Amino acid sequence: MDLSVAAAHVLGDAGAFNASVGRRGRPVAVVGRDPRASGEFLEAAVVAGLASSGVDVLRLGVLPTPAVAYLTTALRADMGVMISASHNPAPDNGIKFLTRGGHKLPDTVENEIEQRLGEKWERPVGASVGRVREAYGEADRYVSHVLSTVEGRLDGLNVVLDCAHGAAHMVAPEALLRAGATVETIGARPDGLNINAGVGSTHLDRLQQIVISRNADVGIAYDGDADRCLAVSHTGEIVDGDQIMAVLAMAMHAEGKLIGDTVVATVMSNLGFKIALKNAGIDVVETAVGDRYVLEAMRAGGYNLGGEQSGHVLMLDHATTGDGLLTSLHLLAVMAREKKSLAELASVMTRLPQVLVNVKDVDRSKASVPELAAAVSAAESELGETGRVLIRPSGTEPMIRVMVEAASADQAEQLAGRLAEVVRTACV
């Protein structure tokens, strides 16, 4: 979202007020950002709001969102703030708040902060105002942490890293080099305006070309704030979040480290992912779309691996949020330990053709009308166990999403088109 300086200042103020409620002593906040030009002055506004409200602030500089989450805990801060719009283009920006322990705020706390925007309260003066200190050197603490979670080294692996001109442009190459990999980077020269511009996990074409032309073993692509990653095999094939989770799940399962022999994924994960894990003796718990719901289910069940097809992977043994650098290091470590190519590892699952149609300008509340339910039932009968259908109303727009997976792309497209037409006629 777009943020004015004034809004950022007020958000910092409201966040500080929330952090200080019911706490003795002066609260401490860590603040990080991605390299967007707007982040420079939005950071100043947020820091001003926090410090003028009596919060001591540690400015971390440009770091990934998961680094800010980790350092919120490691530095015993009362809250963390990340200024980033993730995979969005440079003109966008946003503010993410983290609680003690490095967790994203629950809805109730977000609502509490929103209600307190602009609220009058007794402000500190004199020696009671917060102090601001630079803490740029804490990036090394984060790199050392992620490296400490990986068994073995990456010697002999030739890796191309696409850092999206984003928050990982320093820490990701440093971590892989320290782990022993040979690293070539693209998207590692942020100028404040080029974040995610033709690079990163949402633009993999260039990475695919370079991996093939350099005869590299693997390519890794992060998004702007590096809380997710996707990969490219030595043949140029894209390896998505489902495949990455499948590789990690099977490696952890073999080592007895996959809690409950269960992985948490969303309803959008490919059916091939679920079939592959079932065949390996691993259960899959499904949630609604969104890393928040994945995390809730993981906490409720005590599970330690989950994520989304987009490459947002949560490894709760080592992090409180999705962490692209952590995920990529563990993926590369499996390659190194098993002496297998990423293509070979990813072949443990067959990704079924998946077609998604967004039917706009319809009444999303009618996603379960009898006509559509009958059409879905007929499509499911046709697919049998070789595919599936998912009808999902948008949470924010007048739109219904139709997703079909099938044994062939033609069948998936035909069924998705047929169901989309039913939505257009029955859901108005």
Residue percentage of the chain with pLDDT more than 70? 93
Angle at 150 between CA 71 and CA 273, to 5 degrees: 100
Provide the 10 A C-beta neighbour count for residue 278: 11
How confident is the model at residue 379, as a pLDDT? 94
If 0-12 CB within 10 Å is exposed, 13-18 middle and 19+ buried, where does residue 312 land?
buried
357-388 tens-digit pLDDT: 999 999 999 998 999 999 999 999 999 988 99
211-237 tens-digit pLDDT: 999 999 999 999 999 999 999 999 999
Q: Which residues touch 13 (CB under 8 Å, ≥6 apart)?
A: 49, 50, 52, 53
Mean pLDDT of 197-207: 97
Cα–Cα distance for residue pair 91/96, rounded to 1 Å: 17
133 or 14, higher pLDDT: 133
How confident is the model at residue 310, as a pLDDT? 94
How confident is the model at residue 23, as a pLDDT? 57
How confident is the model at residue 194, as a pLDDT? 97
Catalytic residues, by residue number, are: 86
Residue percentage of the chain with pLDDT more than 90? 79
Q: What is the pTM of this model?
A: 0.90
Is it the case that residue 20 has pLDDT exceeding 70?
no
Q: Which residues pair with 360 in a beta bridge?
A: 399
Local structure of 362: helix, strand or coil? coil
How confident is the model at residue 76, as a pLDDT? 94
Domains and CATH numbers, the chain: 5-137 (3.40.120.10), 149-346 (3.40.120.10), 354-426 (3.30.310.50)
For every residue of 70-98, which 3-state class applies, written as one string?
A: HHHHHCCCCEEEEECCCCCCCCCCCEEEE
Is it the case that residue 1 has pLDDT exceeding 50?
no
Cα–Cα distance for residue pair 34/88, rounded to 1 Å: 12
Is it the case that residue 340 has pLDDT exceeding 90?
yes
Q: Where are the alpha helices (DSSP H) in 219-322?
A: 241-254, 271-279, 291-301
129-140 tens-digit pLDDT: 889 999 999 999
How confident is the model at residue 5, as a pLDDT? 60
